[in-house]
Amino acid sequence: MAEKRTEIGELGEFGLIERIHQQVKLANTSSLKGIGDDAAVIDLGNEYLLWSTDLLAEGIHFDLAFTPLQHLGHKAVSVNVSDIAAMNGKAEQILVSIALSNRFSVEAVDALYSGIYAACEQYNVDLVGGDTTASRAGLIISVSILGRVAKDKVVYRSGAKPNDIICVTGDLGAAYTGLQILEREKEVFLSNPNMQPGLEKYQYMVGRQLRPIARTDIVFELEEMGVKPTAMIDISDGLASELFHIGKNSNVGVRIFEDKIPLDAETYNTAALEFKIDPVTCALNGGEDYELLFTISSSDADKIKNHPDVHMIGYVHDKPKEFLLITKQGNAVPLTAQGWDHFR
């Protein structure tokens, strides 16, 4: 009798991660946190080492038809720095490994690394090694990142408590809208190669997609204000998906308010008028904004209420299975996590 075959798509990306997680046992006492947060946490004695990795694959994470290699190199570093920031830590070193085919020239590799070097300088991170190999499936970039955090400063996804306030930085949905613009312009070019892409008025949204910035500034500013988040995660897969991660890990529920979700005016108008997409849907499920989503004690609300780039969008409650969006009309709608899943 043939063994049952389960398709990966049946589990999805997060189901597959959870399946692997369930079979992993940490044997070393220095391994404090493994799979299940933005970075692994290793006990170094006086402080914690933070260790994370991200892999970008051509045709899945990026399209070289509209992604400059310099921007791609910068993004590869930024998305990893964002993971360390989400643990309330400071990134210090990276390892970069690439697999590429002979369709890439030496000059193309130089362009890719020029973006990596620029990001290293921006975040004060050292490139300390990596690996190179051939690829038959396009360009693949893998970045591993190391950072550090004081033991009393580390923040996990699991610390949110009832009555905590839910906060988010920046604005949401711009990266997804930028991707829609780039995909549209690509189709226009393919149908008429003589047409020049019209991206001038979309620079903010396109920039958010091609060259996101990790919010390391917020980590420092929260510390200066005397605020330590109770839970934190970066927004890579969409606001809704990240809220579910915090809720599941903290065993709590959430309520967020539609009219509190920060949306850039250009993003709102472009999504709604040009693509006929609900801008709130872009924010909830678009992903790749790389803003920080975190919870704080209600006693810290006064400390951050005047921060121009931190927005209080809801609160945590004690019903773990209740994830609600309160609409502008006052209706309570169940949140659904429809962010990017690589295997569905």
- Mean pLDDT calculated for residue range 160-177: 98
The segment(s) of the chain belonging to CATH 3.90.650.10 are 165-334
Q: What is the pLDDT of residue 342?
A: 52
**Domain covering 165-334 in this structure, CATH number:** 3.90.650.10
- Mean pLDDT calculated for residue range 327-333: 95
**H or E stretch at 57:** strand 47-57
pLDDT at 343 over 50: no
Among all chains, which residue has been given the structure tokens 């398709």? 7
pLDDT at 332 over 80: yes
Specify the CATH superfamily of domain 12-150.
PurM-like, N-terminal domain (3.30.1330.10)
Query: How confident is residue 26, by pLDDT bands cut at 50, 70 and 90?
Result: confident
Tens-digit pLDDT profile for residues 240-289: 999 999 999 999 999 999 999 999 999 999 999 999 999 999 999 999 99
Q: Are 168 and 291 in contact (CB under 8 A)?
A: yes
Report the distance separating Cα 21 and Cα 26, nearest Å. Answer: 10
Query: How confident is residue 344, by pLDDT bands cut at 50, 70 and 90?
Result: low
Q: What is the pLDDT of residue 19?
A: 81
Query: How confident is residue 125, by pLDDT bands cut at 50, 70 and 90?
Result: very high
What is the dihedral angle through the alpha carbons of 281, 285, 286, 290, rounded to the nearest 10 degrees? 120
Report the distance separating Cα 142 and Cα 17, nearest Å. Answer: 18
Mean pLDDT, the chain, rounded, equals 93
**Cα atoms found within 13 Å of the Cα of residue 201, Cβ hemisphere only:** 7
Q: What is the pLDDT of residue 339?
A: 56
pLDDT at 341 over 60: no
pLDDT at 21 over 90: no
Tens-digit pLDDT profile for residues 300-318: 999 999 999 999 999 999 9
3-state secondary structure of 133: strand
pLDDT at 340 over 60: no
Secondary structure letter of residue 58 according to DSSP: B
Tens-digit pLDDT profile for residues 87-108: 999 999 999 999 999 999 999 9
The segment(s) of the chain belonging to CATH 3.30.1330.10 are 12-150
Report the distance separating Cα 250 and Cα 228, nearest Å. Answer: 16
Tens-digit pLDDT profile for residues 194-236: 777 778 889 999 999 999 999 999 999 999 999 999 999 999 9
Which of 82, 83, 78 lies closest to 96 in space, CA to CA?
78
Q: Are 229 and 294 in contact (CB under 8 A)?
A: yes
Paired tokens of 160: 């949110």
Q: Are 175 and 36 in contact (CB under 8 A)?
A: no
Which of 136, 116, 336, 100 lies closest to 238 in space, CA to CA?
336
